[in-house]
Amino acid sequence: MIAFRADANSEIGSGHIMRCLSIAKALQKLEQDIVFITADDNGKELIRREHFPSISLNTQWTNMEGELLELEKAIIKYKIQVLIVDSYYVTHNYMKRAKDLVKIVYLDDLNQFVYPTDILINYNIYVYDIQYSSYYSENTTLLLGCDYVPLREEFSGRIRTINPSVNNILITTGGSDSYNMAGQLLSYIRKFSKFDSLNLHIIVGALNKNVENLNKLSKLYPNIILHRAINNMADIMMECDIAISAGGSTLYELCACGLPTISYSFADNQLWIVNKFNQEQIIYYSGDIRGDISACLGKVNDSLSTLMKDALLRKELSLNMQNLTDGRGSYRIAEKVLKLL
């Protein structure tokens, strides 16, 4: 049995569980039994939708050490052999205690300390700015770089054709959109007549609390199209010409689809990603919405105008994006995990 330890809620969104689900599906295809372990029931629906069982520890998701006793019980009861952990709230003691019982895989974004783990994964574009090999021994297998981006199978093998004109814009703001960025973007974009003829596709995350407001806007304006509880994200991305997206794992999905993108950030853990993408001239960055939201929206507008007018630029960005990841990272991870059994 292979277990995933991850959480989702309106504060942290759904990204941790979503990327674990991608790896879980790859492992399932390799005939492995999977179970998800969460602190509470907030992420249960996301997991159930993908037909995986889950266990709630009924603990506080920010206090990982406080769940150790319940975690140990679950490991023994379900005969778990490998635990794949995806949380920013782990401590050295938590990881060490868990590693005394099972093989550990850790998905890292922040490099907070040297994690006691059998496999460490950091697939982010900025990973080579971190000297992992200098402080991890040969006892830890390092899976580094965009070859290990854990995307779902639907993102593999996508071929992008750049349309001469822009007709469809995708807006994706994360699982919870706690800053109501989708609503703010729509209100801002509606001020400009150049967007009146465009279809605006909004991905409404499972934890989004602004659904009522978005519903009102979609009823007022027929070119605002809401997508909820979807299982075809790659298809929607392929239908669109430009995306506006929050920083995070969605940026790698957009890369696999070669969809020219304008990013923004709303959390510290996104800053490395969005700045590196911008530095490498792969994805534009409009700023952090926790600061000057007006300046951020202005940069989004400027970038949209530039991309809409220049099909060659969109093609160049699209090629740069698709050169970054082939969408098969989940399978590469799954093959390495199997070697721990």
- Report the distance separating Cα 296 and Cα 121, nearest Å: 32
- Report the distance separating Cα 24 and Cα 49, nearest Å: 13
228 labeled part of a ligand binding site: no
Q: Give residue 66's Cα distance to chain centre.
A: 27
Kindly list the distances between the CA atom of residue 26 and the CA atoms of 19, 78, 113, 310, 314, in Å, as whole numbers in the listed order. 11, 20, 28, 38, 32
- Can 16 be counted among the known catalytic residues? yes
Q: Hey, what are 111's tokens?
A: 């490099």
158 labeled part of a ligand binding site: no
Q: Where are the beta strands (DSSP E) in the chain?
A: 2-6, 34-38, 54-56, 82-86, 103-107, 119-122, 141-144, 168-172, 199-204, 224-228, 242-246, 261-265, 284-288
- Report the distance separating Cα 185 and Cα 15, nearest Å: 21
| Furthest C-alpha separation in the chain | 62
What's the length of the chain? 341
16, 51, 92, 201: which one is catalytic? 16
- Report the distance separating Cα 216 and Cα 48, nearest Å: 29
As annotated, the binding site includes 152, 253
| Residues classed as catalytic | 16
As annotated, the binding site for substrate includes 152, 253
